[in-house]
Amino acid sequence: MGLGLGENTARLRRTVGGLMASAAFALASAPAWAQDRLGQPTPGGIDLQPAASVLKRDAIFFHNAILLPIITVICLFVLALIIWIVIRYNKKANPVPARWSHNTAIEIVWTVVPVLILVGISLFSFRLLFAYHDTPPVDLTIKATGNQWNWAYEYPDQGIPEYISNVLPEAELAKRGMPHDLYRLAADEPLVVPVGKVVKVLVTGADVIHAFALPAFGLKTDAVPGRVNETWFRAEREGVFYGQCSELCGDDHAFMPIEIHVVSQAEFEKWVVSKGGSMTPKSAAPAAAPVAAPAAADAAVPAAEAGAAPAAASVGATTGVPATAPAAAPAAPAAQ
């Protein structure tokens, strides 16, 4: 029995040592496989995507510095209460249960304290909501329409008509040398915006409710048919950023990626020209053409009247009737 016990002890030690070594290796290698990726999900990541706009940076601060500490403290406090109650008021430690039903002081505390916590959270929450609502002066406007199952984009100020953005096929990823992680994230016709500019996005839906969501910019706006919602962002760095429709919208909901390329102003202008648009706003010159037509018609009326006057004068000279327009009007009933 002594040998069996020693063998079991040694086996247990080896098992524990192996588990500790595995845990140490996992912790040591965690930064390698969970390194945050910019603009796309991180395999094995546990944090929010890195911020690429001021709105997302404020949202990360609200989550990490306000909500997370409060949630952690509340969870630890409740856990401590449960442990204390289990130990203090179990049947062995407390064979005779108390017969009181409530405690006024405790009830006041657990009512007032949560209210104060919610009020404190609301101060930061409303500040963030106002930042989303109060759009700065806009440099670029884009209309995004959700369809089953793709996105349609339009640049009204640049005269770029609506074009469709579909998911990039899996086979196309390999042809372009892109990693397979981008499948269902990459699109064949991405959005292109200049860096550092305020971009307003008008979001609507063509059939059912979709959602325009891009985590790196902190965007998530519902695309509702018959309604136009508005959001904005200002990209702080160049790069490629990915999002998806985040509202369950049908069979191919997972095939509605959103891809945004943030480029320099010069590259953006080249892209606008390649799409048949122009950086010069549409002028009011075409609107002046309909106005000129009535003016020409008005000018033609005096000319016609001037041409009719000599004809009437010649008639008066042969008939002896004064050449006046009112004199010609009563002649019509006489002819009848």
Q: Closest Cα partner for 233 from 50, 53, 49?
A: 53
pLDDT score, position 294: 44
299 part of a folded domain: no
Average pLDDT over residues 175-198: 93
Integer Cα distance of 96 and 92 in angstroms: 9
Residue that terminates a domain, selected from 274, 304, 321:
274
Average pLDDT over residues 307-333: 40
Residue 335 has pLDDT above 90, yes or no: no
- Burial class from Cβ neighbours inside 10 Å (0-12, 13-18, 19+) for residue 207 reads middle
Residues 259-270 have pLDDT tens digits of: 999 999 999 999
Q: Which residue has the higher pLDDT, 69 or 102?
A: 69
129 part of a folded domain: yes
Average pLDDT over residues 193-215: 96
Q: Which residue has the higher pLDDT, 144 or 89?
A: 144
User: Across all residues in the chain, what is the average pLDDT?
Assistant: 80
What sign results for the dihedral spanned by CA atoms 299, 304, 310, 312?
A: negative
* Band (184; pLDDT cuts 50, 70, 90): very high
Looking up tokens 């108390």 gives: 98
296 part of a folded domain: no
Q: State the total domains in the chain.
A: 2
pTM, two decimal places: 0.68
Average pLDDT over residues 27-32: 46
Kindly state the DSSP code that residue 52 receives in the 8-state scheme: -
Q: Which residue has the higher pLDDT, 11 or 242?
A: 242
CA 242 to the chain's CA centroid: 11
Kindly state whether residues 124 and 245 are assigned to the same domain: no
Kindly state whether residues 200 and 78 are assigned to the same domain: no
Helix ranges, the chain (H): 2-33, 54-61, 68-88, 104-133, 170-175, 265-274, 285-319, 325-328, 331-335
